[in-house]
């Protein structure tokens, strides 16, 4: 009895530990492959020659690699126009939302005034509205103003989607900057504005970067509003242009996947460099508030 | 730096010094909030109110052109309820939401528990598993559509080689499988975000509690059920509400893969409203469906905010 008691815990902890670690890695690899495979498949398809793309059965590894799909895509003026439209839209929406969110978020985090408790909640509600409910009034309004099928008409539409969450997130970041810093600056003779501009703003820079990146990514990717309000080819954004490559009967999947890679590339680059800020900013912001 | 600041303010009053005292100081926060509020009223409050209003008016292309959109009470809702596709879309929405929320929370929790362990190479696995979250939605959906291709799709090939099916199947073209095939993509896309939220919560679980549980001889499952889950339950509930909201609002997956077809078999309320609005141009009926969705989401959002407040109080 005594001998089993002393040897049993040793056995129970030693062997299963290796087994458990092995199982852990099996699970990790399974999850990794499940998550990454579609992305791999897009890249692999974009690098295949046309006849290989439609070969049956499909092979996991490409037999030969060609950049023909990318050349075909980038040679057309269409692609560049779509990319330019997306870029103009992304820069405008990001600049406006960040500017407004910084001032509003700061005031909400720092000052007590009528509505300083209600407003942030109201902003969060704004983020949860079903886009389909906004789609219809926006369509009626844009049509009335003659802004349907206009790139600039999309700016207010996108602000409805971006601004509330930006304000909410910025307020969260400003709330984390210690009060004492601002008080010290004020004692040093700074005006309110100077204290904000020279002391608080630099401290909140990581938050500003996270919010700006969030807006950039979402504007760059937006599909629903653009596909409803943009009617002519010349005003299409990149995601719209991409979906336009789907044909009714035949689709050039090689070119489409190349377009997918190019559309995703800037996002992946941004994500790669700002991973830490983004993950804590968006993931944390969603539960911390 | 500080001395320079001091001098400039002493010698020459900065323009912003009008906000230092009296009325100016009281106005200052309002001035900073005002631009964002005005724009939010213009682009959120007004459109939402006018969207709800259109649900009770006859808004079609004809009435829009004449500028006279008569009030018709609940007629739009009656017309929506009379449409057999509305019943189908409601049932599909239920299936779509339940499958997405359950699977994303289940897989998300499993992934978070896997990735929580600090083992060699964990950073590599963590960034790989975030890939679906980072890839733009349109790109992801189109890639899956290509993978589901009925004649050369890799999904078919893999399933045939694994012996799950014995012939290629048109997953998106079959009324029996279309909704589920889209759901698989949406689970793939949504799970990493749930994982991220739960991983953040797991990292806040005090190590001492876990160690105490191990010392008491708690097995893995019991530790999960009695120690870990109660600790992260608020984050878990927040993830559930967020997943619910994001799933109801997910348009791209269904629209770009099936447009609600074949034969409305993958129609959800969102795509139905879209079709009423922008294929039939009956914006009144579309608003009626959107208003019903809105009420459901307001309830979910209220719940979400309550949970966040509960978390802050913890």
- Distance between CA atoms of residues B238 and B307, nearest Å: 6
Residue B232 near residue B287 (C-beta atoms within 8 A) = no
Rounded average pLDDT over A11-26: 75
- B8, B27, B146, B161: best mutation site toward chain A, by most A Cβ within 10 Å? B146
Q: Do A189 and B6 count as a contact with CB atoms less than 8 A apart?
A: yes
Could you tell me if B32 lies within 8 Å of chain A, comparing CB atoms?
yes
* Residue B303 clears pLDDT 50, i.e. is over it: yes
Residue of A nearest to B279 (CA): A228
Name the residue of chain A whose CA is nearest to B307's CA.
A287
The ipTM estimated for the assembled molecules is 0.87
**A205-221 vs A154-176: helix axis angle to the nearest 10?**
150
Give residue for tokens 């269904």.
B254
Contact B17 A191 (CB under 8 A): yes
Whether residues A125 and B43 touch (CB distance < 8 A) is answered with no
Find, in chain A, the residue whose alpha carbon is nearest to that of B6. A189
Question: What residues of chain B, 49 to 108, have a C-beta less than 8 Å from chain A?
Answer: 50-52, 54, 59, 64
The predicted-structure confidence for B282-300, as pLDDT tens digits, reads as follows: 999 999 999 999 898 888 8
Q: Searching chain A, which residue's CA lies closest to the CA of residue B303?
A: A125
DSSP one-letter string for A77-113? HHHHHHHHHHHHHHHHHHHHHHHHHHHHHHHHHH---
CA of B134 vs chain A CAs: smallest distance (Å): 7
| B17 conformational bin, left if phi > 0, alpha if psi -120 to 50, beta if neither | alpha
Looking at the partner chain, which of A107, A157, A275 has a beta carbon nearest the beta carbon of B32?
A: A107
* DSSP letter string, A157-211: HHHHHHHHHHHHHHHHHHHHS-HHHHHHHHHTT--HHHIIIIIIHHHTHHHHHHH
Task: Measure the CA–CA gap between B218 and B232, rounded to whole angstroms.
Answer: 18
pLDDT at position A235 over 70 = yes
Q: Give the predicted TM-score (pTM) of the model.
A: 0.88
Instruction: Please write the tens of the pLDDT for every residue from A191-213.
Output: 877 888 888 888 888 888 888 98
Task: Kindly list the residues from chain A whose CB atom is less than 8 angstroms away from the CB atom of residue B152.
Answer: 53-58
Is the pLDDT at A107 greater than 60? The verdict is yes
pLDDT at A9: 47
For the residues B73-81, what does the mean pLDDT come to? 94
> Cα separation of B101 and B96, whole Å?
9
Question: Best residue in A287, A288, A289 to probe B by mutation, most B CBs within 10 Å?
Answer: A287
How many Å from the N-terminal Cα to the C-terminal Cα in chain A? 56
Chain B environment of A257 (Cβ under 8 Å): 142-143, 146
Q: Which of A46-55, A199-208, B265-274 has the lowest mean pLDDT?
A: A199-208
Q: How far apart are CA A134 and CA B47, in angstroms?
A: 6
Whole-number pLDDT of residue B29: 80
């Amino acid at each position: 009895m005594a001998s089993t008691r002393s040897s049993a815990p040793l056995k129970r902890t030693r062997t299963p530990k290796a087994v458990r670690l092995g199982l852990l890695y099996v699970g990790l690899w399974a999850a990794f492959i499940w998550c990454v495979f579609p992305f791999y498949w897009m890249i692999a398809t974009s690098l295949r020659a046309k006849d290989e793309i439609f070969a049956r059965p499909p092979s996991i590894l490409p037999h030969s690699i060609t950049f023909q799909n990318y050349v075909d895509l980038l040679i057309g003026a269409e692609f560049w126009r779509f990319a330019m439209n997306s870029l103009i839209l992304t820069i405008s929406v990001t600049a406006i939302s960040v500017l407004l969110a910084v001032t509003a978020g700061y005031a909400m985090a720092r000052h007590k005034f009528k509505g300083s408790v209600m407003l942030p909640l109201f902003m969060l509600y704004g983020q949860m509205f079903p886009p389909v409910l906004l789609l219809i009034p926006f369509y009626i309004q844009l049509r009335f103003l003659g802004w349907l099928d206009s790139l600039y008409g999309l700016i207010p539409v996108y602000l409805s989607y971006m601004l509330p969450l930006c304000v909410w997130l910025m307020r969260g970041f400003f709330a984390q900057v210690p009060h004492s810093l601002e008080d010290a600056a004020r004692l040093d003779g700074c005006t309110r504005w100077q204290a904000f501009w020279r002391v608080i703003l630099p401290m909140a820079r990581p938050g500003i970067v996270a919010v700006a990146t969030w807006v950039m990514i979402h504007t760059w990717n937006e599909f629903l509003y653009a596909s409803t309000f943009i009617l002519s080819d010349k005003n299409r954004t990149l995601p719209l242009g991409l979906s336009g490559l789907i044909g009714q009967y035949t689709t050039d999947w090689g070119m489409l996947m190349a377009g997918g890679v190019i559309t995703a590339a800037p996002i992946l680059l941004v994500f790669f460099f700002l991973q830490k800020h983004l993950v804590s900013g968006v993931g944390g912001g969603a539960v911390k508030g | 730096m500080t001395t320079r600041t001091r001098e400039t303010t002493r010698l020459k009053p900065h323009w912003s010094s009008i906000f230092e005292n009296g009325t100016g100081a009281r106005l200052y926060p309002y001035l900073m909030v005002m631009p964002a509020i005005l724009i939010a009223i213009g682009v959120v409050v007004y459109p939402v109110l006018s969207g709800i209003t259109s649900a009770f008016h006859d808004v079609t292309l004809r009435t829009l052109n004449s500028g006279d959109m008569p009030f018709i009470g609940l007629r739009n809702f009656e017309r929506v309820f009379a449409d057999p596709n509305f019943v189908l879309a409601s049932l599909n929405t239920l299936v779509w939401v339940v499958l997405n929320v359950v699977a994303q929370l289940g897989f998300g929790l499993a992934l978070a528990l896997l990735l929580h362990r600090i083992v060699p190479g964990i950073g590599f696995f963590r960034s790989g598993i975030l890939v679906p979250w980072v890839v733009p939605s349109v790109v992801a959906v189109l890639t899956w559509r290509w993978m589901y291709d009925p004649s050369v799709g890799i999904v078919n090939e893999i399933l045939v080689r694994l012996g799950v099916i014995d012939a290629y199947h048109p997953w998106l073209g079959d009324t029996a499988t279309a909704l589920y095939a889209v759901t698989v993509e949406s689970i793939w896309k949504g799970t990493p975000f749930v994982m991220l939220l739960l991983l953040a919560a797991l990292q806040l679980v005090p190590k001492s509690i876990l160690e105490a549980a191990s010392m008491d001889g708690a097995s893995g499952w019991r530790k999960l059920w009695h120690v870990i889950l109660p600790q992260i339950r608020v984050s878990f509930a927040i993830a559930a509400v967020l997943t619910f909201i994001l799933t109801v609002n997910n348009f791209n997956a269904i629209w770009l893969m099936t447009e609600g077809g074949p034969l409305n078999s993958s129609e959800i309320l969102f795509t139905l409203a879209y079709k009423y609005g922008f294929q039939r141009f009956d914006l009144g009926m579309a608003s009626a469906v959107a208003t019903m969705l809105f009420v459901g989401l307001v309830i979910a959002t209220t719940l979400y905010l309550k949970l966040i407040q509960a978390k802050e109080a913890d």
